[in-house]
């Protein structure tokens, strides 16, 4: 039996081989502990240099025996883990409410699940290095965060609690992050105050966790204004623009020089108007129409020329890229650009000359495009329509620009019909709208009804976006022009098959054998749901089977719209992707020569913009959920109609009709136990045999609404209370 190797006398210098053995011995003796090189040197009592110990540690990481965490912290690799790949993958954290996460890696087909205990300091949106393995007996990859490559944010809103010599801030919505703050850096915040805290040190050199300092005290928690600000900051958005960005914006001139006008096509005499929501403050698109002598219609899609004012490399440009998008909460907008640009210089306000980038099309009487032109223009909007005003003109066939609106609508209808004929999917989720009082508290919730005026604008914007992308593709020829495409992949076959089985349980048969047939089946579902309310529940579930749209230089087309080429060109005030599209298009219109940007750098920008878009959508959903709970809190004890929207082992989830407020009816509140059927499509009472199925209409009473957790508790009632409020 070979002799057990031991370290030499105190202070001995070990060989590289012996050093690795002794290092592993320490880790196995303390399998749950984390060590850095200095801590190991003290534990081993050896004279090897710190570099030698670090080299041994790195070798053991490569051999799959240790895991490297952040800041040179090392940990014993779980022996139950089976290596999936010796390569460490880089991905983006998509966190769950429970503190675990899925890491989205471009080079892996499946997302990597990371349990909360292996997240370490990684948070939602962070770019990380993850070690991946497949546990025995399973097929899906799991992993452990080894290093945070790039933080998605360093400012958080949370609740501060004071201790004798320090304070802790617990960020809203986070389950694995406590921020340590020295007493002198609390800005005299009181216990329970909402504060903004900036992380100054992410290391975990002590049990205190990351260290930070309070930058702003917002006050006592619970007010709607603070909650909305919390949502924005905790999703990584700064509430204020840096001073240098504001200064640069304010320095921009609102005068249009004659030299600039000479470079542009002058359309100020052509009938032009905007159609926007009643509450809109910035108008980034307008339509014009001219009736030509040969019976054709010349229709212009005019977009605010943001790229004229926001130049590459400036403070304005860097901030716009960092934000990438405006964020629309229920009661406010956090703009991508300062107000001087978004609401003044670039807003296509009526009766003002404005600089625009235009896509102009000539249509025949059948609504087919005969010619197309792209270029810089100057316009003068004659009228600002709200959607409601434009819709009234369309329905009454009278009023301002009635003939122009009718022609535009007829062509839009033809464009829409052709789009669906070519495979576009007709999903239209119900959009929840709020009427707020002066304090921002919701007094009414309703669902927005989409009418011709809304779809008219949408169809012409889709046309411009498609035609711009097609132009760039064709000009590039066999050697592509790197461009910002809006892409949407085909749905995941496994998810579609699972959904088709689900729909079949509710009596709706689908053909999902080919991507085009999937689209047809989805459209038939939308049509059937108009007359069968139970099928309405399938629409949002069907949408979740679809891939997420994103920005990329690698064009794969847009499955949901049925377009081979598609970009975003029409909203540069609120989307940075459109600013990039304008710049690339402008350079390629300037001459017959082809202009190409660096594709790798452009793809990096696309990835960042896509990530920011997802954060903005998360913030929007959080604000809607908060306002829904804030509204229903005033109706505890009232009865509402709803339908069964989900089933779990603990209860059934109900969505209230019209308001889309979701709550849970716990089985504990019911008179009997229930058996949950496989697939979670229905439950059956163990005593009475009473069934509740997905999509079933139901009456419920609100018994609790908690703003902190955003949760609503309900109970089933058999009869509606008199004068109970209802959403229609």
Three-state secondary structure of 634-667: HHCCCEEEEEEEEECCCEEEEEECCCCCEEEEEH
Give the residue-averaged pLDDT of 150-165.
88
Domain shared by 140 and 257, yes or no: no
Q: Is the pLDDT of residue 8 over 50?
A: no
Local confidence band at 174 (pLDDT 50, 70, 90 cut-offs): low
Residues 351 and 430 in one domain: yes
451 and 565 fall within a common domain = yes
pLDDT at 79: 54
Q: Are residues 375 and 480 in the same domain?
A: yes
- pLDDT band of residue 648 (cuts 50, 70, 90) is confident
CA distance 488 to 568: 13
Q: What are phi and psi of 155, to 5 degrees?
A: -110, 140
Would 11 be classed as within a structural domain? Answer: no
Among 576, 595, 620, residue at a domain's last position: 620
Distance CA 156, CA 93 (A): 17
Provide the number of structural domains found in the chain. Answer: 6
Distance between CA atoms of residues 5 and 20, nearest Å: 11
For residues 212 and 193, state if they share a domain.
yes
Q: What is the mean pLDDT of the chain?
A: 88
CATH of the domain at 165: 2.40.50.700
Nearest-Å Rg of the Cα atoms of the chain is 29
571/497 same-domain check:
no
Q: Is residue 27 one of the residues assigned to a domain?
A: yes
- pLDDT higher than 80, residue 4: no
Q: Is 235 within the bounds of a domain?
A: no
Question: Which residue from 572, 582, 570, 608 is spatially nearest to 326, judged by alpha carbons?
Answer: 572
Q: If pLDDT is split at 50, 70 and 90, which confidence band does 721 have? A: very low
pLDDT tens-digit map of 68-96 = 765 667 888 765 544 444 468 999 998 88
547 contacts 557 by C-beta, under 8 angstroms = no
CATH code assigned at 662:
2.40.50.140
**Rounded Cα–Cα distance for residues 623 and 334 (Å):** 13
Residue 178: CB partners within 8 Å, gap ≥ 6? Answer: 168, 169, 170, 209
User: Phi, psi at residue 149, to the nearest 5°?
Assistant: -80, -40
Q: Mind listing the pLDDT tens digit for each residue in 334-372?
A: 999 999 999 999 999 999 999 999 999 999 988 999 999
Q: What is the mean pLDDT of residues 28-36?
A: 82
In three-state secondary structure terms, 519 is: helix
* Residue 192 predicted with pLDDT over 60: yes
Report the SS3 class of residue 494: helix
For position 273, what pLDDT does the model report?
A: 97
Torsion angle of C-alpha atoms 720, 724, 727, 728, degrees rounded to 10? 80
Does residue 597 form part of some domain? yes
> In the prediction, which pLDDT does 728 show?
43
Query: Which of 531, 512, 528, 532 shows the shortest CA–CA distance to 520?
Result: 512
Q: Which long-range contacts (CB under 8 A, 24 or more apart) does 170-173 make?
A: 171/197, 171/234, 172/230, 172/234, 173/97, 173/234
> What would the mean pLDDT of 240-260 be, rounded to a whole number?
94
Collapsed DSSP state (helix, strand, coil) of residue 564:
coil
The token pair that represents 293 in the structure block: 């002598």
Report DSSP letters for 209-245, one per residue.
-SEEEEEEEEEETT-HHHHHHHHHHHTT--SS--HHH
Same domain for 329 and 364, yes or no, is yes
| Dist. CA 288–CA 272, nearest whole Å | 4
Domain with 49 in it: what CATH number?
1.10.10.10
Most confident of 264-273, 424-433, 711-720: 264-273
How far is it, in rounded angstroms, from Cα 546 to Cα 442?
32
Tokens of 279: 């509450």
- Same domain flag for 289 and 424: yes
Please check whether residue 652 is in contact with residue 646, taking contact to mean a CB–CB distance below 8 angstroms: yes
Same domain, 54 and 96: no
**What distances in angstroms separate CA 653 from CA 282, 630, 668, 691, one per listed residue?**
38, 19, 14, 14
Claim to verify: residue 296 and residue 402 sit in the same structural domain: yes
Stated pTM of the model:
0.79
* 315, 373 Cβ separation under 8 angstroms: no
Please check the confidence at residue 6 and state whether its pLDDT lies above 80: no
From 205, 221, 237, the end of a domain falls on 221
CA distance 564 to 582: 20
Q: C-alpha angle with apex 623: 620 to 627, nearest 5 degrees? A: 140
Same domain flag for 615 and 681: no
What is the structure's pLDDT at 84? 43
Rounded CA-CA distance 691/696 in Å is 10
Could you read off the pLDDT of 493-533 as tens digits, one per residue?
888 888 888 888 778 899 988 888 899 999 999 888 888 87
Which among 85, 142, 79, 152 has a CA at the least distance from the CA of 121? 152
Residue indicated by tokens 């760039």: 472
Q: Assess if residue 538 is contained within a domain.
A: yes
Is 233 part of a structural domain of the chain?
no
Residue 29 is part of which domain span? 16-76
Judged by average pLDDT, the poorest of 137-141, 339-343, 553-557, 581-585 is 137-141
Alpha-carbon span 385 to 382, nearest angstrom: 10
Within-domain flag for 308: yes
Distance CA 539, CA 711 (A): 23
Q: What is the pLDDT of residue 94?
A: 87
Of 224, 101, 205, residue with least CA distance to 152: 101
Token pair listed for 444: 């009414």
Is 631 a member of any domain?
A: no
- Helix 315-323 and helix 243-250, axial crossing angle in degrees, nearest 10: 120
Q: Mark whether 106 and 31 lie in a shared domain.
A: no
């Amino acid at each position: 039996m070979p002799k057990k190797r031991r370290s030499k006398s105190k202070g001995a210098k070990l060989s590289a081989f012996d050093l690795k053995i002794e290092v592993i011995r320490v880790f196995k003796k303390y399998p749950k502990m984390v060590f850095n090189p200095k801590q190991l040197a003290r534990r081993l009592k050896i004279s090897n240099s710190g570099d030698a110990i670090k080299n041994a540690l790195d070798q053991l990481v490569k051999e799959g025996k240790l895991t490297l965490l952040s800041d040179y912290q090392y940990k014993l690799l779980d022996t139950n883990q089976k290596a999936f790949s010796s390569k460490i993958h880089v991905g983006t954290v998509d966190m769950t409410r429970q503190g675990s996460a899925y890491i989205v890696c471009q080079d892996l087909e499946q997302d990597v699940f990371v349990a909360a205990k292996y997240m370490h300091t990684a948070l939602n949106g962070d770019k990380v290095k993850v070690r991946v393995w497949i546990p025995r007996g399973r097929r899906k990859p799991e992993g452990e965060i080894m290093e945070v490559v790039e933080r998605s944010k360093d400012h958080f809103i949370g609740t501060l609690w004071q201790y004798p010599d320090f304070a802790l801030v617990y960020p809203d919505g986070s389950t694995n992050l406590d921020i340590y703050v020295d007493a002198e850096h609390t800005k005299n915040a009181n216990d329970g105050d909402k504060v903004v805290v900036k992380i100054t040190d992410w290391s975990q050199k002590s049990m205190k966790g990351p260290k930070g300092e309070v930058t702003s005290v917002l006050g006592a928690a619970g007010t709607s204004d603070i909650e909305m600000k919390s949502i924005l900051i905790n999703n990584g958005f700064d509430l204020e623009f840096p001073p240098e960005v504001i200064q640069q914006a304010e320095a921009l001139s609102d005068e249009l020089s004659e030299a600039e006008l000479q470079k542009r096509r002058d359309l100020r005499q052509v009938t032009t108007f905007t159609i926007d929501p009643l509450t809109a403050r910035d108008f980034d698109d307008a339509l014009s129409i001219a009736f030509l002598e040969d019976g054709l219609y010349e229709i212009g899609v005019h977009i605010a020329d943001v790229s004229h004012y926001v130049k590459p490399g400036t403070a304005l440009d860097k901030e716009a890229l960092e934000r990438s998008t405006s964020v629309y909460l229920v009661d406010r907008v956090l703009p991508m650009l300062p107000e001087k640009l978004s609401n003044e210089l670039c807003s296509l306000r009526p009766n003002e000359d404005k600089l625009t980038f235009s896509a102009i099309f000539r249509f025949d009487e059948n609504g087919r495009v005969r010619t197309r032109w792209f270029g810089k223009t100057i316009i003068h909007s004659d009228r600002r329509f709200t959607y409601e005003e434009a819709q009234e003109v369309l329905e009454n066939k009278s009023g301002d620009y009635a003939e122009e609106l009718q022609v535009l609508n007829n062509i839009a209808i033809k464009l829409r019909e052709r789009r669906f004929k070519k495979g576009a999917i007709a999903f239209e989720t119900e959009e929840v709208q709020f009427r707020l009082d002066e304090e921002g508290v919701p007094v009414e919730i309703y669902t927005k009804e989409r009418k011709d005026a809304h779809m008219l604008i949408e169809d012409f914007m889709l046309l411009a976006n498609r035609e711009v992308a097609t132009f760039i593709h064709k000009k590039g020829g066999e050697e592509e022009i790197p461009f910002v495409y809006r892409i949407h992949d085909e749905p995941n076959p496994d998810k579609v098959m699972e959904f088709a089985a689900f729909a079949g349980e509710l009596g709706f048969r689908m053909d999902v054998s080919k991507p085009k047939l999937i689209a047809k089946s989805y459209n038939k579902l939308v049509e059937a749901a108009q007359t069968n309310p139970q099928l309405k529940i399938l629409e949002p579930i069907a949408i979740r089977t679809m891939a997420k749209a994103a920005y990329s230089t690698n064009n794969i087309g847009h499955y949901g719209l049925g377009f081979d080429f598609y970009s975003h060109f029409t909203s540069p005030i609120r989307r940075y992707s459109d600013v990039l599209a304008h710049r690339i298009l402008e350079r390629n219109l300037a001459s017959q020569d082809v202009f190409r940007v660096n594709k790798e750098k452009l793809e990096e920008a696309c990835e960042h913009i896509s990530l920011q878009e997802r954060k903005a959508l998360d913030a929007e959903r959080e604000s809607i959920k908060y306002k829904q709970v804030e509204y229903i809190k005033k109706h505890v004890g009232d009865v509402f109609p709803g339908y069964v929207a989900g089933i779990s082992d603990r209860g059934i989830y109900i969505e209230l009709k019209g308001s889309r407020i979701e709550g849970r009816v716990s089985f504990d509140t019911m008179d009997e136990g229930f058996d949950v059927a496989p697939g979670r499509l229905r439950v059956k009472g163990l005593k009475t045999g009473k069934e509740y199925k997905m999509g079933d209409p139901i009456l419920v009473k609100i018994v609790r609404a908690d703003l902190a957790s955003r949760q609503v508790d309900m109970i089933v009632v058999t009869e509606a209370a008199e004068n109970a409020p209802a959403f229609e």
